[in-house]
Amino acid sequence: MTTRRDFLKRISSAALAASAAPSFFLQNSFAQDRGISLPGEDGMIVRSSRFLDLETPVEYFDFWLTPVPHFFVRNHMHEPSELNAGDWRLNIGGEVEKPFALTLAQLSKLPTHSVVNTLECAGNGRGLYRPQVPGVQWGKGAVGTARFSGPRLRDVLQRAVVKSSGKHVMFRGLDEVPGKVPPFIRSIPIEKALDSDTLVATHMNGAPLTKHHGFPARALVPGWIGAASCKWLTEVKVLDSEFVGNFMSPGYRFPNQPGKPGEVVKPEDTHPLTALNVKSVISGPLDGASVKPGHVTIHGAAWAGEADVVKVEVSTDAGATWSAATLGHESAHYAWRLWSYDWKPKPGDYTILSRATDNRGRSQPDTPVWNPSGYLYNAIDQVKINVA
Amino acid sequence: MSHKQSYAGADPLVRPATQSEAKESVSAPRRPELTSTLARKCLIPAAALPIWLAFSFIAIAQNPGVVKSAEDLLAGPMQAKATTACTECHEARIIVQQRLSKAAWTKEVDKMIKWGAVIDASDRDPLIDYLSGNFGVEQPQYQPPRTSSEKKPVAKLK
């Protein structure tokens, strides 16, 4: 398997030294030393400390598997104040013949399956929409890739024997809801719930889930928006229809037809968000960087939800011409591909773009599809740098 | 509890589980009184707390690189009421990062009232004016802080 180290070797250590670290990255590194102390969360952008919402700086996209201390955290509510592995239960009910509950010990005895999945918050990139829309103003880093492991949800559901009336599966977590805020409950169609890669995940990158990532168990719905993968999972309920609640409607819906920026969209003209779309992000050089002429490697990550990235193109002249980037060797069905492009620039100011294409023929658009909640931002990525 | 109490460093509200805790059980108080928590943690006698806090403020004043773990709302006629109404449930940083029109702020305020924010009817319009005046589309973008770097080498994952 190609490691990050191997990948970076191809980026050429000499070239990295010659191109010089972007000045503002150094400033950011310096600032990290004086940042908010949050054990286990390393150099993360704090979008909110209560509820906890942490964004991964793009420079950490150089890891194919994002280390947990650099993995984005998204919470709608307060994390559970009490989590005791011994008392925890997973209750399975609803449209099933044999409702039952599992302890963590019982869950851990079920056959384990692993899925390397790129998990992305539906609102990743919301802060880049204009006009701006309400919500956590994510930049580019509400996304990460990890190896999630645990029993298949299908195995759990089959033990309960799903009735023919069971069409959707609802997840409830142990997060704590303040005031009269609607609980964070959503559902997925039964077909996705029974997919062999949909998990009740207990581990992330080989270690038990940390509290911020849903200990002791979370749903893992690969290729879909992060909101589908309910953390601190405690109830799996089979329903005869889609769950009705704030986070199914009006939350997490997308216009059926693209509209103009700022346009109001009627609820009946929307559909629930499911799979992620095709997207690439440049992780270096960083926006605003100043690099030396000679050999510069442009690099980043690209993903496509349930589809596969087949091509990443780079433009170093603001879109006038495009060249194919080299895709990294590490790949998995639901995981992003790292990519790189070797470039020999002369001094000057440059606008660098990246554009991914997947095996369904989808490519990143020039401009994002505007929607009132700022979901699924996937416009061609851009950084501006100076070579001098 | 005043939001300003969280100047003192690590935010106990968001303490994550360590691996050893994850194996056994996790119990983190959601809204502890920070002073008492610190007193217990640091074994500072209650009488010494004012002195300790004073030195903390001096240290922060002399070191502008220190980042507040919780954000404050900007001064204004509705600052106190907005703080009470909004930060009961979420940090002010959620507000200060928004750049919204008055119409969009109106929708947000009404949604939050529906979701339990306690705002007198007579305060609704002044609150919307305060929010759209301070966090409107013309304001420069908010620059978020980072968590501190642990400076440990990251293990290679396989």
Number of domains into which chain B is organized: 2
Residues of chain A neighbouring B1 (CB-CB closer than 8 A): none
CB A209 within 8 A of CB B147: no
pLDDT at A8 over 80: no
Residue B11 lies in a domain: no
Chain B: closest CA distance from residue A143 (Å)? 17
pLDDT at A341 over 70: yes
Mean pLDDT across B138-152: 87
Closest-CA residue in chain B for A207?
A: B19
Residue B4 lies in a domain: no
Burial class (CB in 10 A: 0-12, 13-18, 19+), A361: exposed
| pLDDT tens per residue across span A111-156 | 999 999 999 999 999 999 999 999 999 999 999 999 999 999 999 9
pLDDT of residue A17: 32
Say if the Cβ atoms of B148 and A35 lie within 8 Å: yes
| Distance, CA of B84 to CA of B97 (rounded, Å) | 18
Helix, strand, or coil (residue B128): helix
User: By residue range, what is the domain housing residue B62?
Assistant: 31-67
The residue assigned the tokens 């001064």 is: B75
| Domain A89-111+152-248 part of CATH 3.90.420.10 | yes
The more confidently predicted of residues B15 and A165 is A165
ipTM: 0.88
Helix B121-134, helix B79-86: angle, nearest 10: 100
pLDDT of residue A195: 98
Domain ranges of chain A: 4-41+276-387, 89-111+152-248
pLDDT range class, residue B76, cuts 50, 70, 90: confident
**Helices and strands per DSSP (H, E), number in chain A:** 6, 25
pLDDT of residue A264: 87
> In this structure, what CATH number is given to the domain that contains residue B90?
1.10.760.10
Chain B: closest CA distance from residue A103 (Å)? 14
pLDDT of residue B25: 35
Are residues B87 and B130 both part of a single domain?
A: yes
Are residues B38 and B58 both part of a single domain?
A: yes
C-alpha angle B146/A75/B143, rounded to 5°? 30
The more confidently predicted of residues A191 and B35 is A191
Are residues B47 and B85 both part of a single domain?
A: no
| Distance, CA of B141 to CA of B119 (rounded, Å) | 27
pLDDT of residue B72: 87
| Boundary (domain end) residue, out of B41, B67, B93 | B67
Mean pLDDT across A11-29: 35
Are residues B54 and B94 both part of a single domain?
A: no
| pLDDT tens per residue across span B85-126 | 999 999 999 999 999 999 999 999 999 999 999 999 999 999
Dihedral of alpha carbons A37, A40, A46, A47, sign? negative
pLDDT of residue A259: 84
Residue B46 lies in a domain: yes
Are residues B59 and B84 both part of a single domain?
A: no
pLDDT of residue A183: 97
| Distance, CA of B93 to CA of B83 (rounded, Å) | 11
List own/partner pairs for A258-262 with CB under 8 A and 24 or more apart. A258/A369, A258/A370, A259/A370, A259/A371, A260/A370, A261/A129, A261/A130, A261/A131, A261/A370, A262/A131, A262/A370
User: Closest Cα partner for B73 from B92, B88, B91?
Assistant: B92
Residue B10 lies in a domain: no
Residue % of chain A over a pLDDT of 70: 91
Say if the Cβ atoms of A48 and B13 lie within 8 Å: no
Mean pLDDT across A48-52: 95
Are residues B52 and B86 both part of a single domain?
A: no
pLDDT of residue B66: 52
CB A255 within 8 A of CB A265: yes
Task: Indicate the CATH number for domain A4-41+276-387.
Answer: 2.60.40.650
Would you call B14 an interface residue with chain A, using a CB distance cutoff of 8 Å?
Answer: yes
pLDDT of residue B10: 30
Residue B35 lies in a domain: yes
Would you call A70 an interface residue with chain B, using a CB distance cutoff of 8 Å?
Answer: yes
Mean pLDDT across B69-78: 86
pLDDT at B7 over 70: no
Helix, strand, or coil (residue A263): coil
Q: What are phi and psi of A383, to 5 degrees?
A: -135, 150
Residue B142 lies in a domain: no
pLDDT of residue A262: 85
Residue B86 lies in a domain: yes
Burial class (CB in 10 A: 0-12, 13-18, 19+), A310: middle
Would you call A215 an interface residue with chain B, using a CB distance cutoff of 8 Å?
Answer: yes
Are residues B51 and B93 both part of a single domain?
A: no
pLDDT at A254 over 90: yes
